[in-house]
Amino acid sequence: MLRPSNSLLGSSRAARRATLRAEWVKSLGHAARGIRSLVSGVFALTVDLVLLWALPFVYLASAYLALDLPARWLTHRDAWGGWGVGIFAASLVVGLIGLARALQDSTPVAPVRPKFARAMFAISWLAGLLLTIGDLAS
C-alpha cells in the first residue's frame, strides 16, 4: 500500500506544527520583500520627481551663477562674500555635469528627447548670460 506524502498527513503533531511554522516564516519573508520593494519603488519615484521638477531650475541657476560671479569679481562688486567661491565652484560643477551629459547624448531625466534637453540646456546658459548682463547693467 502506498502512503501519501502530503505534509499534513504526517504521523505526529510536532511535524504538522513545524510545517505550519515553516510556511508562516516563508510568508513573512515574502511580505517583507514585498514591503521593501514597495518602499524602494516609492523612494525611487520620489527622487525621479524631484529631479524632474528641480533639475531645469538647478541648471538655470548654475548657468547664471557660473557667469555672474566672475563678472562681479571682474567689476569689483560684492560677490556673496566668502561663500562666492564655493557657490561658483558648485555651479561650475553642475554646469560641467550638464555639458558632459549633453555631449554624451545621455538620456535626460525628464521624459523628453535628448535633442530637446540639449536645446533647453543651451537656452538656460543663454538666459544666464542675459541675466548677468542685466545684473551688471543695473
Ramachandran region, residue 13 (left: φ > 0; alpha: ψ -120 to 50; beta: rest): alpha
What are the pLDDT digits (tens) for 34-64? 999 999 999 988 988 887 888 888 889 999 9
Domain that holds residue 63: 7-137
Residues 98, 76: contact at Cβ < 8 Å? no
Domain contains 87: yes
**Contact residues for 34 (Cβ-Cβ < 8 A; gap 6+):** none
Domain contains 122: yes
Domain contains 124: yes
**Contact residues for 90 (Cβ-Cβ < 8 A; gap 6+):** 62
Quote the number of domains for the chain: 1
What are the pLDDT digits (tens) for 55-113? 888 889 999 999 998 998 888 888 777 888 899 999 999 988 888 888 887 777 767 78
Residues 93, 39: contact at Cβ < 8 Å? no
pTM above 0.75, yes or no: no
Q: How many CB atoms lie within 10 A of CB 38?
A: 10
